């Protein structure tokens, strides 16, 4: 009998960290049936000479809850070999949501996760209320890759308490009702429970997010549902994570993990210039917690974090009244002010002042995406270096380019976090970290972190040799799959789901940042494609070939 799919002559990297072998992988009925010596007839044969076949990559930190309803492939994650994504992080979810709370939910998601509310209003069909109905809708809609959801704290809190959810603590009765919803969501297939405790995340009108107002007793009571069910993971944004990560937050993580017996993951973990010793202290804390039976993990970036912005609608300099007023002007008036030497001088002074106060510095500033061909050579360069060569002021150069390109330029502060390669290497090697905080589906106008798998394989495996190819693939596949509870994903073995990535280890890497105008309502987003990936297979079907979608929608809603 012929196989459905046969990939032959490949270097097989199975996701376990074991040495690679040369051979073939056979697939039938969406499952791997043979690895190594597979041969015979097949409906589809791919000759993978010179290529690696590995498990598809697993991304544990995404916000595709909205985008997946209009984009079943979850682009651009799929371009980078990702075959499974975990959504509903940080307590934000598209279910359960009462009909009267849809506008509030879209406003909060837009404010916190950086997706235009116009896009959400235009794109979300809202043909569900409960989490079970939402997951059922996704199944009926069809998926290109596998998606899994979690129970979001802010979602269930708003569902139970209503408009007062961001104003007060819950009553004992309301906590019990939230516990019922957490249990209902877990029984519907959610992989875990997530929350956010940070003050800087605000709703549409500057109000606190609902989960911020929850007492610690409420948090632990809801998390205890997972202990009772003996399944699921817990995701949290600790309250002081963007500051000095206080001891009380570390204690809370430890108690949360030990009291529930569940894996607790927090985000996001970066090396930060303003707290030079924090990363080492946090690694020591988590590794020590593991030795004492507390499964605490940090989800971290493997890339330098670059803060993107433009001058069409930037909030980058929102601390300045002059810039707030500038941002509120029509497009033509913005251009007129940049061309006016007096007004431009004031704007430049305010930029200089703003950069003296914040984490970003003028030394980190440059062009990310130029709209004019003549300025493309500037992409990735720093203004201070270009300005030195040209004998001009870097802030004036920044404003010159913005004016010349009529505000279409995408700028960036390069390396605001993870700029220290030695620190990032130590963080990546720690057993207490999970590689891959793409934030995919969020922050569409300011960053694109979905390239972490191809960046990791090009930078940390091929170029720097920090990981062998086998250990690098394991980091991106079986490690996150096992921690999240995806029992049949992340490895190449008979019986496992046939989620595969076929790539050239010598060329795999992210492509340059692009601006696409393909969101509902005509809105734009930052996108990176990949090179070196020949094919992506989900549940036995090829969904991408040479970077192009095949039209297949074999993805599934994965449940706990």
- What per-residue confidence (pLDDT) applies to 481? 98
- Same structural domain for residues 245 and 114? yes
As given in the structure block, the two tokens for residue 431 are 């057993």
As given in the structure block, the two tokens for residue 53 are 């076949």
CB contact at 8 A, 325 and 422 = no
H-assigned helices in 430-527: 452-455, 469-476, 478-484
CB contact at 8 A, 59 and 456 = no
The number of domains in the chain is 2
DSSP letter at 151 equals E
pTM value surpassing 0.75: yes
In a domain, 498, yes or no: no
- Same structural domain for residues 331 and 288? no
In a domain, 471, yes or no: yes
Q: Which residue among 441, 464, 484 closes a domain? A: 484
Domain range for 326: 314-416
Q: Which residue among 416, 433, 468 closes a domain? A: 416
Q: Which residue among 457, 484, 511 closes a domain? A: 484
CB contact at 8 A, 160 and 151 = no
CB contact at 8 A, 369 and 379 = yes
Place of tokens 């049936």: 33
Closest CA to 473 of 46, 52, 144: 52
- Same structural domain for residues 216 and 322? no
Q: Enumerate the β-bridge partners of residue 555.
A: 143
| CA–CA distance, 65 with 147 (Å, rounded to integer) | 9
In a domain, 224, yes or no: yes
In a domain, 172, yes or no: yes
Q: What is the mean pLDDT of each run of 10 residues along the chain (560 residues)?
A: 92 98 97 89 94 98 98 98 98 98 98 96 98 98 98 98 98 98 98 96 94 98 98 97 92 98 96 90 98 97 88 80 90 96 94 76 89 94 94 95 95 88 97 96 89 98 98 98 96 98 98 93 94 98 97 96
- Same structural domain for residues 408 and 471? no
Closest CA to 257 of 210, 223, 304, 302: 223
Whichever domain contains 155, its CATH number is 3.20.20.140
- Same structural domain for residues 394 and 428? no
- Same structural domain for residues 410 and 424? no
Q: What tens digit of pLDDT does each residue of 256-288 get? A: 999 999 999 999 999 988 888 999 999 999 999
In a domain, 33, yes or no: no
- What per-residue confidence (pLDDT) applies to 37? 86
In a domain, 461, yes or no: yes
State residue 292 phi and psi, 5-degree precision.
-105, 20
- Same structural domain for residues 251 and 340? no
Q: Enumerate the β-bridge partners of residue 192.
A: 233
In a domain, 365, yes or no: yes
- What per-residue confidence (pLDDT) applies to 359? 61
- Same structural domain for residues 129 and 245? yes
User: Is residue 139 helix, strand or coil?
Assistant: helix
Residue 418 backbone zone (phi > 0: left; psi -120 to 50: alpha; other: beta): left
- Same structural domain for residues 223 and 150? yes
Q: Enumerate the β-bridge partners of residue 81.
A: none
* End-to-end CA separation in angstroms for the chain: 34
- Same structural domain for residues 457 and 385? no
- Same structural domain for residues 369 and 225? no
| CA–CA distance, 141 with 164 (Å, rounded to integer) | 34
Residue 62 backbone zone (phi > 0: left; psi -120 to 50: alpha; other: beta): beta
User: Is residue 493 helix, strand or coil?
Assistant: coil
In a domain, 535, yes or no: no
- What per-residue confidence (pLDDT) applies to 358? 61
- Same structural domain for residues 112 and 232? yes
- What per-residue confidence (pLDDT) applies to 168? 97
- What per-residue confidence (pLDDT) applies to 305? 84
Residue 483 backbone zone (phi > 0: left; psi -120 to 50: alpha; other: beta): alpha
The helix (H) or strand (E) run that includes residue 10 is: strand 3-12
Spatial CB neighbours of 98, under 8 Å, sequence gap ≥ 6: 129, 159
DSSP letter at 499 equals -
Is the bond into 76 cis (omega within 30 degrees of 0)?
yes
- What per-residue confidence (pLDDT) applies to 274? 82
CB contact at 8 A, 20 and 36 = no
């Amino acid at each position: 009998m012929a196989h459905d799919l046969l990939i032959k002559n490949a270097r097989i990297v199975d996701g376990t960290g074991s040495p690679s072998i040369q051979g073939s992988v056979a697939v039938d009925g969406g499952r791997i049936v043979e690895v190594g010596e597979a041969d015979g007839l097949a409906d589809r044969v791919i000759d993978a000479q010179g290529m690696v076949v590995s498990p598809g990559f697993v991304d544990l930190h995404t916000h595709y809850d909205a985008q997946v309803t209009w984009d079943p492939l979850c682009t651009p994650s799929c371009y980078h070999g990702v075959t499974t994504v975990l959504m509903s992080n940080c307590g934000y979810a598209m279910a359960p949501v009462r009909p009267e709370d849809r506008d509030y939910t879209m406003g909060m998601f837009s404010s916190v996760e950086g997706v235009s509310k116009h896009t959400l209003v235009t794109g979300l069909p809202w043909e569900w209320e409960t989490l079970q109905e939402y997951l059922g809708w996704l199944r009926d809609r069809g998926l290109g890759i596998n998606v899994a959801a979690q129970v979001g704290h802010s979602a269930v809190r708003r569902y139970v308490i209503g408009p007062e959810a961001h104003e007060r603590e819950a009553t004992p009765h309301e906590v019990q009702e939230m516990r019922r919803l957490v249990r209902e969501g877990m029984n519907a297939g959610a992989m875990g429970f997530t929350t956010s405790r940070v003050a800087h995340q605000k709703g549409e009108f500057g109000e606190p997010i609902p989960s911020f107002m929850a007492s610690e007793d409420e948090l632990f009571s809801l998390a205890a549902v997972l202990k009772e069910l003996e399944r699921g993971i817990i995701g949290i944004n600790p309250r002081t994570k963007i500051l000095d990560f206080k001891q009380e937050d570390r204690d809370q993580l430890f108690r949360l993990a030990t009291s529930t017996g569940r894996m607790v993951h927090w985000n996001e973990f970066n090396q930060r210039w303003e707290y030079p010793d924090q990363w080492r202290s946090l690694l020591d804390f988590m590794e020590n917690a593991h030795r004492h039976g507390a499964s605490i993990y940090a989800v971290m970036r493997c890339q330098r974090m670059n803060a993107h912005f433009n001058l069409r609608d930037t909030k980058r300099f929102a601390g300045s009244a002059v810039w707030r007023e500038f941002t509120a002007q029509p497009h033509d008036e913005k251009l007129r002010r940049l061309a006016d030497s007096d007004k431009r001088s004031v704007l430049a002074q305010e930029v200089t002042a703003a950069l003296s106060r914040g984490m970003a510095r003028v030394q980190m500033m440059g062009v990310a995406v130029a709209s004019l061909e003549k300025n493309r050579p500037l992409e990735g360069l720093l203004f201070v270096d270009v300005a030195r060569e040209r004998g001009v002021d870097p802030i004036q150069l920044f404003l010159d380019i913005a004016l010349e390109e009529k505000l279409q330029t995408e700028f960036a502060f390069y390396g605001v976090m993870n700029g220290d390669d030695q620190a990032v290497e130590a963080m990546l090697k720690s057993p207490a970290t999970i590689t891959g905080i793409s934030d995919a589906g969020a922050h569409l106008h300011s960053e694109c972190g979905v390239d972490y798998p191809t960046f990791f394989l090009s930078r940390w495996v091929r170029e720097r040799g920090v990981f062998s190819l086998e250990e690098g693939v394991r980091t991106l596949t079986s490690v996150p799959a096992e921690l999240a509870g995806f029992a049949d994903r992340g490895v190449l073995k008979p019986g496992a789901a046939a989620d595969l990535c076929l790539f050239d280890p010598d060329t795999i890497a992210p492509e340059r940042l692009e601006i696409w105008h393909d969101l509902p309502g005509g809105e734009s987003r930052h996108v990176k494609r990949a090179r070196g990936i020949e094919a992506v297979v989900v549940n036995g079907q090829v969904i991408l070939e040479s970077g192009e979608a095949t039209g297949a929608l074999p993805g599934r809603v994965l449940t706990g």
